[in-house]
Amino acid sequence: MPETGVLRAPRELLFGAGIADATGELARRLSDRVLVVTDAALAAGEAARRVLDSLRSQGLEVELFDGTVPELPMDVVLDAIGRARRTAPRCMIGLGGGSSIDLAKLVALGVAHGEDLRSFYGEEQVPGPVAPVIAIPTTAGTGSEVTPVAVLTDPEAVLKVGISSRHLIPTYAVVDPVMSHGCPPRVTAHAGIDALAHAVEAFTAADRRLPPGTNAVFVGKNSLSDAFALLAVSHIAPHLLAAQRDEPDARAAVAYGSLCAGLAFGTAGTAVAHALQYPIGARTNTPHGLGTGLLLAYAMRFNRSARVAELAAIGRAMGVTGDGHNDERAADEAIGAVAELASAVGLPTSLAELDVAEGELPGLARQALGVGRLIVNNPRELGEEELLEILRAAWRGELARPAPVSVS
Ligand SMILES: NC(=O)c1ccc[n+]([C@@H]2O[C@H](COP(=O)([O-])OP(=O)(O)OC[C@H]3O[C@@H](n4cnc5c(N)ncnc54)[C@H](O)[C@@H]3O)[C@@H](O)[C@H]2O)c1
Ligand SMILES: [Fe+2]
């Protein structure tokens, strides 16, 4: 029987091919003046044309900010907030990957509570509701369309910083898989494997059983996040390679899966693979999903002793376990299949390949230990030694397998 369950989500979630054409109707419920936040490449393409047409067909006053830069440098964020404060839109529409959606959330926050974003870093530091956000992902994905998180790059911080607050959950999430058609193979790989990492880390997270009303955004594994996590795994893992080839059914499966993964980790939280990505991403200047995807199988192997049944369930949801295999064997099959998928979609197979020197690993472990909210969410206790053990294994590429399919 389920024991505890927590789920937080947008007011409405819409999924389906063509559903982005309903954006105008949704926006009209919120305001007559909207700001579309996206990047220059997407602004020139079909996805933006559809959304803008839909908004204008409702007679809304529409402004466009197309200056999003991946990984969100602070100056870009402040520029977007400044612009919104001058023109006073009452609803923000994030159209794009995680970077554009996170920027729309930060603009909604800045407009409501001021530009001193540093005062909101961490968990539950946002003092109250922000302007409404409609999130339309074009990658699949970060899950940002349903999560309480926005991540940015602050030049005064060594690592990327996160603002996590229930107030940052978008009002509407509009997940139209057609929006991800044509997404480059590399971006598809990084975003898709990151979504798988969200699902796996949420499903294997610590069982923290925080009492109701606790002032925490991430509450650990629970019966509601578990359901979405497994649904995510079964839709992402078997279809990611075909999504990279831009097959429409596979695009739809992965978009659905990443939405489910967002619902899972937006409440349960993620753990050690994400904690280690922060310093590795900063040191190597590599995308978020490249790091989480590379590290995921190593995180699973480290956590195996505490989460055999869960890892076995993940293997079964992926469809990679043999008939009648017991949990021990199915857990190993899941770990092997995740490592194989990571290399099949074209991720580097070791940290050494990223030009990280072995001597840097202790420093990276120390930095990861500082990402406290993710460290406490891991099912096995983590200290510097344990983090170093995972990093050393990933540095050597111990789980690397030859890629069965090569992707250019
Ligand atoms: N808020 C959250 O819950 C959350 C979770 C995970 C990651 N993130 C953040 O999200 C960001 C990464 O987001 P992302 O991986 O979605 O990528 P992104 O938004 O950084 O975009 C990467 C590139 O892909 C391009 N692109 C996106 N969709 C496209 C499409 N359909 N066709 C062609 N090109 C397309 C963009 O123009 C951009 O150049 C990071 O900053 C990460 O920290 C946020
Ligand atoms: Fe992630």
**Token pair in block for residue 324:** 């009648």
Q: What is the pLDDT of residues 159-169, one digit of tens each?
A: 889 999 999 99
* pLDDT per position as a tens digit, 109-124: 999 999 999 999 999 9
Ramachandran region, residue 352 (left: φ > 0; alpha: ψ -120 to 50; beta: rest)? alpha
pLDDT of amino acid 292: 98
CATH number of 12-180: 3.40.50.1970
User: Three-state SS for 159?
Assistant: coil
Q: Indicate if the pLDDT at residue 210 is higher than 90.
A: no
pLDDT of residue 393: 97
Give the per-residue pLDDT at 141. Answer: 86
State the pLDDT at residue 216.
Answer: 86
| Type of residue found at 114 | G
Q: Whose CA is nearest to atom 43 of ligand 1?
A: 151
- The CA angle 22-25-30, to the nearest 5 degrees, is 130
Q: Which two tokens stand for residue 22?
A: 């309903």
99, 126, 190, 373, best to mutate for ligand 1 pocket (most atoms within 8 Å of CB) = 99
Nearest in space to 191 (alpha carbons), one of 137, 270, 252: 137
Q: Is the pLDDT at 373 greater than 60, yes or no? A: yes
Ligand 1 pocket: which residues have CB below 6 Å?
A: 39, 41-42, 70-72, 96-100, 102, 138-139, 141-144, 147, 149-151, 179-180, 182-184, 187, 190-191, 194, 288-289
CATH 3.40.50.1970 region(s) of the chain? 12-180
HSE value, Cβ hemisphere, 13 Å, CA-based, for 49: 3
Segment 24-53 mean pLDDT: 97
Sheet (strand 149-152) strand order: 122-123, 161-164, 149-152
Name the percent of the chain lying above pLDDT 90.
90
Gap from CA of 289 to ligand 1 centroid (Å): 9
Which ligand number lies closest to the CA of residue 42?
1
Q: Which ranges in the chain are annotated with CATH 1.20.1090.10?
A: 185-396
CA atoms within 13 A on the CB side of 20: 23
Instruction: State which H helix or E strand residue 408 sits in.
Output: none
Which residue puts its alpha carbon closest to atom 34 of ligand 1?
Answer: 183
Say how many Å lie between the CA of residue 143 and the centre of ligand 2: 8
**What atom of ligand 1 comes closest to residue 71's alpha carbon?**
41
Whether the per-residue pLDDT at 406 is higher than 80: the answer is: no
Distance 270 CA to ligand 2 centre (A): 8
* Rounded Cα–Cα distance for residues 218 and 186 (Å): 29
Ligand closest in space to the Cα of 150: 1
Superfamily of domain covering 185-396 = Dehydroquinate synthase-like - alpha domain (1.20.1090.10)
- pLDDT of 403 > 60? The answer is no
Measured distance CA(237)–CA(259) in Å, rounded: 14
Stretch 40-53: mean pLDDT, rounded?
96
380 pLDDT tier (thresholds 50, 70, 90): very high
CA of 297 to the centre of ligand 2 (A): 14
Best residue for ligand 1 mutational test, from 8, 37, 38, 42 (most atoms within 8 Å of Cβ): 42
| Shortest-distance ligand to the CA of residue 151 | 1
- Tokens coding 107: 């603009």
Q: Which residue has the higher pLDDT, 264 or 5?
A: 264
Question: How remote is the CA of residue 100 from the centroid of ligand 1, in Å?
Answer: 7
pLDDT confidence of 408, banded at 50, 70, 90? very low
Helices and strands in the chain: count of H runs, count of E runs? 16, 9
